[in-house]
Structure 1
Amino acid sequence: MRSPIDSYLADLHAELLDLTAGTPYQGIPAMADADPSKFAIAMATVDGHVYRIGDADLEFSIQSISKPFSYALALDDIGLDAVDTKIDVEPSGDAFNEISLARGSGRPANAMINAGAIATVSLIRNTDAPRFERILEHFSTAAGRRLELSDSIFASEALTGHRNRALAYLLRSFDIIETDPSPVLEDYFRACSVMVNTQDLAMMAATLANGGTQPRTGVQVMSKEAVQRTLSVMTTCGMYDDAGAWISAVGLPAKSGVGGGLIAVLPGQVGLAIYSPALDLHGSSVRGVAASERISADMGMHFVRAARLGRSVIRDHFDITDAPSYTRYTDAASKLLAEYGERAHIVELAGDLLFAGTESMVREVSELDPSVELVILDLRRVDDIDRIAVEMIHQLGRELEAEGRTMVLVQEKIFEPLESLRCFPSRNDAVEWAETTLLQRYGDGDLVPSEVSVCDFAALAPLDAVDIDLLESLMEESRIEDGRIIRRPGQEFGGVYFILKGKVVTSTLQNGKPVRHATLSAGMTFGEIALGGEGEQTTRVTAVGRLHLKVLSAASIATLEADDPGTALRFWKAVARDAYTRVEANIKDSNFPLH
């Protein structure tokens, strides 16, 4: 099944294709002829799943998106204090290629502008291995695959990078760069000329979102301290002279590049990457900015709203054969449910449903085997739910419905935005609905009969017709209204009750709250268990709907034992056999209590 997130990104991509403003960057000849029709969006979660749409495999040069990753490498190489003596962390309010050096010290305003990025490269260690080899390895490890340098773009950068060359020598004049600036500048040009695709950038952004750990490989690419500092500087400085508008509208640490790429990071949750080479006046992708604004708004990603860590909200996931309802079925119905129960799944959620957690749930449901027809989302342990989570759950329900499948919710604490979906107050009720649905689809009417004659009761199957007729002649008929309590805990044995039509539930009180044990329907009996232990009723038995019973009372059984002990003995053997079978089944299922 297609994920609702895939559908959302596809719709957004199609809509923004009509946005044709902007021009590819003309300052580097090798990039001036980039095709402005190319457009891709990729979103990588912190567990390594990537959603992508458009030209996500098309390679382009990373350009200034290299800066935060070079900065993190320098921070890990020599430490925050040493880097801070050379590069400040203040927004410049200037374009990316402005001088922006502090008067007197010559310290660049931050590591995201060109002057600061050139200074950053000079701080990366160049001893154990050539500096650019270390930079390229660092980028590649974050992306999760080996990246390559574009010799043609590097040559074009070196040929036309006069302003950057001037910045490098100016930095040298202030001893911000302490050695010959030419090799540093060449490595800076090379870093900007590394080729990536949109999926690579999404994984690199997700590595930042994941505290420096590459989501798929598990490699710690950079320290948490370096990530914290890098994301902080990206927040205030990553979008240059557009940083204020960006943080207000999008609210994510971000970095753009004149190659047409743009990354944004929602810490703990997701990395976003967009490629479209037509740029605005700030040097950022026009479609990239528009897509980021929409995704942040639609998915609730602004840091003010999404401050909590995103983690999987899936507490457990299993089919209903592992957690059957309390309803007691005939042998034939139980066999059918054992065969078809895998077609109904329970997904138990916990915590806060924000974007990342809801995404993991949506992905898991979307990837269920097509044979799964019924999905039960158990929300009883969910504390809070965000607007995007509500929309994603509704869309998931629509996607399932389009495939002829059904999703229902379990929520004791009602989340009003989800009231339009079918909800059950308890998981037992939802599982009972699923079981009934499967029995109706794959069985016949005899599996769950609405009305049963005494001669057809499974409990009496070992007896012959003469014995059954005798027993029925001693029974008293009873019709009971909905909600009436038939038996209470502590009552002495009152006989064996045969349900001809309707249902009853058995329950006990635990900590003052009723806890359901079983639902019994037509063809089943109750009351006989009171003969065990102290000879008292242990559960409360309540009618559900109108109930039609026949009761073989304690007095009638005593009469039978006195007048026809042979029939009485055969009756008790049959009842004991049936009761033992039910108790054994209850013990088997007790590992999966449904409250």
Structure 2
Amino acid sequence: MESPIQSYLEQLLADVSGETMGTPYPIHPSGSAPDPQDFGICLATVDGYVYSVGASDKRFSIQSISKPFSYGLAMADHGIEAVDEKVDVEPSGDPFNEISLAPGTGRPANAMINAGALAVVSMIKGSGGKTAPRRIMDFYSKCAGRRLAGSKAVFDVEMRNSDRNHSLAYLLSSFGVIDDDPTRALENYLRQCSAQVTCRDLAMMAGTLANAGTNPRTGETALEIEQVERVLSVMMTSGMYDDAGSWVSSVGMPAKSGVGGGTLAVLPGQAGLAVFSPPLDAHGSSVRGVETCRRLSSDMEMHFVRAATGGNSTVKTGVGITQLPSRIRRTEEQAEVIERFNGRCRIIEVTGDLAFAGTESLVRAVSDLDEEVTLVVLDMQQVNEVSSLAVQMLDDLERRLAANSRQMILIEGKGLLDDTRLSADPGVPIFLSRGGAVEYCENRLLVALGADIGEPDRVVVPDSPALSPLDEWQRTRLVGYMEPRNHEDGDIIRRVGQRFGGVHFIVSGQVNTIASDPQGDRVRLNTLSAGMTFGELALGSDDRQETTEKAVGSVELMVLTPEAIEDLEAADPQLALLLWRALTRDAYLLVDRYLRETAVRLIY
């Protein structure tokens, strides 16, 4: 099933494609003019998943988007304090190519303007047999997760049109900010700007910054968190040059634009965003790139203020209902059917906050489920907050599932979805506990796979599954030792602490098994129905009843009392032995099932 996020990006691409303002960067190799119609959007999550639409694999020059990455590399080489001596961290409010240096020291205002970028690149030296440009390209490649290369044709044409940058390099040299050949610093800067990237590459580079300096796909660390912190801080205040104030207020993500048509934005701890569209505005930023980021920030609640708690979420998927069964003790036939068709139901557990990151993970988990999964259980018991984005995406998910004859089931007891369509839709059952939701799914499977497999209304003792190892004559003979009993709804049949009261065979109706949790609250352990037994486990607990058994509706029983058991053992010890073997086998199967369930709960 296509993700609602993927669908949203496709619609966003179509909407913003209608924006025709702006002019592509005029400096380019002969015959390689940018296509104004090119437009791509990529969104990379911190676990390495990339959403992409449009021209996401079209190569273009990274240009000024290289600046924050070289800034990070210079700090990794020399330390933050050494770089601060050369370049300040204050927003300049000037265009990217402004001659903006501090009086007296010549120190550039920040590393995002050209003067600051020239100072930064002059600090990156060759090492380990690699030249400075090679080291820079290797570093970009580590952030992108694939080998990148520069374009000699782009470098050559930029070199021929860099008089202003050349003058900046010499001016920086005159102040001692550049302590090497200023022309070499300019060449290295233009080589880094000529790196050829795709929108997908930029998204992964942004994702690396969002993931505290570690590439989400390769797991390779490019920068330490202290360096990432400084890079993103300067990007937030200065990455969009003289448009930075408007950007922070309307988009609210650290970002960097480039005249090659790329725009990169970072939502720390959650995602990296990249847009490619060549037409530029007066600030040298992509017109469609800016509009796309603004729309995404608003629609997906990616502004840093709204997304502040969004990284505190976890989504666990893949557990089936046989691993976490309901409290209904099923017959062997029912259990076999549920086991066989277990793959049609999946439980997804969500914890923390459903802001952008948590919502994206949840949406992806549901969208990636196999088509055979028709019942999708979202366990939101441990969710603290649900953003409007999450509500919107959950609503979209439910509609998509329903359109494909699939159903969403919710577990949520905090009222987080009150006053939403989901809470009012009878087709979206909402349960307070996992047991109720799983019981619902089991019943849905059983009904869908054959009415004859539904709960039997009445099972006489000779047909009890617990006595299946005995032959017909032996089962009939046992009935002669039993006495009938009837109970009304709510009757306590057996109370915790009572002495062994015999083996109870349920002929009709249902019985709830109730115990106390560690806090002393009464909880339902399971529900027994016709054909099942209870009471025999008291023999393994100092002859004491460990649980309370309560009638649900009218209940008809056949009871093999302690006195009748003594008579049976005296009159027919062979039959008594066969009975205990059959009951032991039935109890073992039940205990084994509970142990498997407990093991799953411990790791889930």
Secondary structure, in 3 states, of the residue corresponding to 1:352? strand
Q: Relative to structure 1, is the Cα distance of residues 166 and 453 closer, same or farther in structure 2, using a 3 angstrom cutoff?
A: same
Query: Would the aligned equivalents of 2:307 and 2:355 in 1 still touch at CA under 8 Å?
Result: yes
Q: Distance in 1 between matches of 2:542 and 2:572?
A: 25
Residue 537 of structure 2, aligned match among 529, 538, 542: 529
Q: Does 1:424 align with 2:431?
A: yes
- Superposed CA offset, 1:353-385 (max 9, x none): 332233223323322222222222222223333
Q: Does 1:401 align with 2:402?
A: yes
Query: Would the aligned equivalents of 2:148 and 2:195 in 1 still touch at CA under 8 Å?
Result: yes
Q: Relative to structure 1, is the Cα distance of residues 162 and 17 closer, same or farther in structure 2, using a 3 angstrom cutoff?
A: same
Q: Distance in 2 between matches of 1:466 and 1:350?
A: 53
**Letter matched to residue 320 of structure 1:** I
Mean Cα displacement is larger for which, 528-537 or 276-285? 528-537
**Letter matched to residue 480 of structure 1:** E
Q: Relative to structure 1, is the Cα distance of residues 257 and 131 closer, same or farther in structure 2, using a 3 angstrom cutoff?
A: same
Q: Relative to structure 1, is the Cα distance of residues 381 and 30 closer, same or farther in structure 2, using a 3 angstrom cutoff?
A: farther
**Letter matched to residue 430 of structure 1:** A
**Once the 2 structures are TM-superposed, how far is the Cα of residue 584 of structure 1 from its aligned partner?**
3.6
Instruction: Provide the residue aligned with 1:438 in structure 2.
Output: 445
Instruction: Provide the residue aligned with 2:87 in structure 1.
Output: 87
Q: Percent identity between the aligned chains?
A: 48
Q: Distance in 2 between matches of 1:43 and 1:562?
A: 76
Instruction: Provide the residue aligned with 2:326 in structure 1.
Output: 325
**Letter matched to residue 256 of structure 1:** S
Q: Does 1:24 align with 2:31?
A: no
- Superposed CA offset, 1:408-441 (max 9, x none): 1222433235635422221122222222222222
- Superposed CA offset, 1:220-268 (max 9, x none): 1122222111111000000011101110111100000111100000111
**Once the 2 structures are TM-superposed, how far is the Cα of residue 290 of structure 1 from its aligned partner?**
1.2
Mean Cα displacement is larger for which, 580-589 or 561-570? 561-570
Instruction: Provide the residue aligned with 1:191 in structure 2.
Output: 192
Query: Would the aligned equivalents of 1:459 and 1:575 in 2 still touch at CA under 8 Å?
Result: no
Q: Relative to structure 1, is the Cα distance of residues 533 and 194 closer, same or farther in structure 2, using a 3 angstrom cutoff?
A: closer
**Once the 2 structures are TM-superposed, how far is the Cα of residue 581 of structure 1 from its aligned partner?**
1.5
Instruction: Provide the residue aligned with 1:226 in structure 2.
Output: 227
Query: Would the aligned equivalents of 2:87 and 2:107 in 1 still touch at CA under 8 Å?
Result: yes
Q: Distance in 1 between matches of 2:323 and 2:560?
A: 37
Residue 574 of structure 1, aligned match among 566, 576, 579: 579
Query: Would the aligned equivalents of 1:199 and 1:273 in 2 still touch at CA under 8 Å?
Result: yes
Q: Distance in 2 between matches of 1:576 and 1:419?
A: 50
Query: Would the aligned equivalents of 2:61 and 2:196 in 1 still touch at CA under 8 Å?
Result: yes
Q: Distance in 2 between matches of 1:373 and 1:102?
A: 65
Query: Would the aligned equivalents of 2:24 and 2:34 in 1 still touch at CA under 8 Å?
Result: yes
**Letter matched to residue 97 of structure 1:** N
Instruction: Provide the residue aligned with 2:379 in structure 1.
Output: 378
**Once the 2 structures are TM-superposed, how far is the Cα of residue 175 of structure 1 from its aligned partner?**
1.8
Q: Distance in 1 between matches of 2:457 and 2:441?
A: 18
Query: Would the aligned equivalents of 1:3 and 1:366 in 2 still touch at CA under 8 Å?
Result: yes
Secondary structure, in 3 states, of the residue corresponding to 1:550? strand
**Letter matched to residue 60 of structure 2:** F
Secondary structure, in 3 states, of the residue corresponding to 1:388? helix
Q: Distance in 1 between matches of 2:79 and 2:73?
A: 10
Secondary structure, in 3 states, of the residue corresponding to 2:341? helix
**How do 1:76-475 residues align onto structure 2 when only pairs under 5 Å count?**
76-128=76-128, 129-308=130-309, 310=311, 313-315=314-316, 317-417=318-418, 419-420=423-424, 421-446=428-453, 448-461=455-468, 462=470, 464=472, 468=476, 471=479, 475=483
**Once the 2 structures are TM-superposed, how far is the Cα of residue 281 of structure 1 from its aligned partner?**
1.6
Q: Distance in 1 between matches of 2:403 and 2:222?
A: 42
Q: Does 1:592 align with 2:597?
A: yes
Runs of 5+ unmatched residues, structure 1: none
**Once the 2 structures are TM-superposed, how far is the Cα of residue 312 of structure 1 from its aligned partner?**
5.9
Secondary structure, in 3 states, of the residue corresponding to 1:277? coil
**Once the 2 structures are TM-superposed, how far is the Cα of residue 59 of structure 1 from its aligned partner?**
0.7
**Once the 2 structures are TM-superposed, how far is the Cα of residue 195 of structure 1 from its aligned partner?**
0.9
**Once the 2 structures are TM-superposed, how far is the Cα of residue 495 of structure 1 from its aligned partner?**
4.5
**Letter matched to residue 277 of structure 1:** P
**Once the 2 structures are TM-superposed, how far is the Cα of residue 184 of structure 1 from its aligned partner?**
1.1
Query: Would the aligned equivalents of 1:268 and 1:311 in 2 still touch at CA under 8 Å?
Result: no
Q: State the TM-score, normalized to the length of structure 1.
A: 0.92
Q: Does 1:541 align with 2:542?
A: no
- Superposed CA offset, 1:373-416 (max 9, x none): 22222222233333323333333333333332222122243323
Q: Distance in 1 between matches of 2:564 and 2:579?
A: 18
Q: Distance in 1 between matches of 2:409 and 2:480?
A: 43
- Superposed CA offset, 1:455-505 (max 9, x none): 432234425369638837964352522x44332112234444443333222
**Letter matched to residue 8 of structure 1:** Y
Instruction: Provide the residue aligned with 2:9 in structure 1.
Output: 9
Q: Distance in 1 between matches of 2:474 and 2:213?
A: 79
Q: Distance in 2 between matches of 1:27 and 1:563?
A: 101
Mean Cα displacement is larger for which, 372-381 or 465-474? 465-474
Q: Relative to structure 1, is the Cα distance of residues 531 and 207 closer, same or farther in structure 2, using a 3 angstrom cutoff?
A: closer
Instruction: Provide the residue aligned with 2:521 in structure 1.
Output: 513
**Once the 2 structures are TM-superposed, how far is the Cα of residue 5 of structure 1 from its aligned partner?**
1.5
Secondary structure, in 3 states, of the residue corresponding to 2:212? coil
Q: Relative to structure 1, is the Cα distance of residues 65 and 560 closer, same or farther in structure 2, using a 3 angstrom cutoff?
A: closer
- Superposed CA offset, 1:97-147 (max 9, x none): 111111222111111011111111111113542211111111111111111
Query: Would the aligned equivalents of 2:500 and 2:545 in 1 still touch at CA under 8 Å?
Result: yes
**Once the 2 structures are TM-superposed, how far is the Cα of residue 58 of structure 1 from its aligned partner?**
0.4
Mean Cα displacement is larger for which, 563-572 or 207-216? 563-572
Query: Would the aligned equivalents of 2:27 and 2:157 in 1 still touch at CA under 8 Å?
Result: no
Q: Distance in 2 between matches of 1:485 and 1:298?
A: 55
Query: Would the aligned equivalents of 2:317 and 2:346 in 1 still touch at CA under 8 Å?
Result: no
Q: Distance in 2 between matches of 1:539 and 1:560?
A: 22
**Once the 2 structures are TM-superposed, how far is the Cα of residue 63 of structure 1 from its aligned partner?**
0.8
Q: Distance in 2 between matches of 1:63 and 1:467?
A: 86
Number of matched pairs: 591
Mean Cα displacement is larger for which, 323-332 or 498-507? 498-507
Instruction: Provide the residue aligned with 1:57 in structure 2.
Output: 57
Query: Would the aligned equivalents of 1:499 and 1:521 in 2 still touch at CA under 8 Å?
Result: yes
Query: Would the aligned equivalents of 2:150 and 2:191 in 1 still touch at CA under 8 Å?
Result: yes
Q: Distance in 2 between matches of 1:312 and 1:160?
A: 49
Q: Distance in 2 between matches of 1:451 and 1:588?
A: 24
**Once the 2 structures are TM-superposed, how far is the Cα of residue 345 of structure 1 from its aligned partner?**
1.8
**Letter matched to residue 450 of structure 1:** D
Q: Distance in 1 between matches of 2:31 and 2:209?
A: 27
Query: Would the aligned equivalents of 1:13 and 1:40 in 2 still touch at CA under 8 Å?
Result: yes
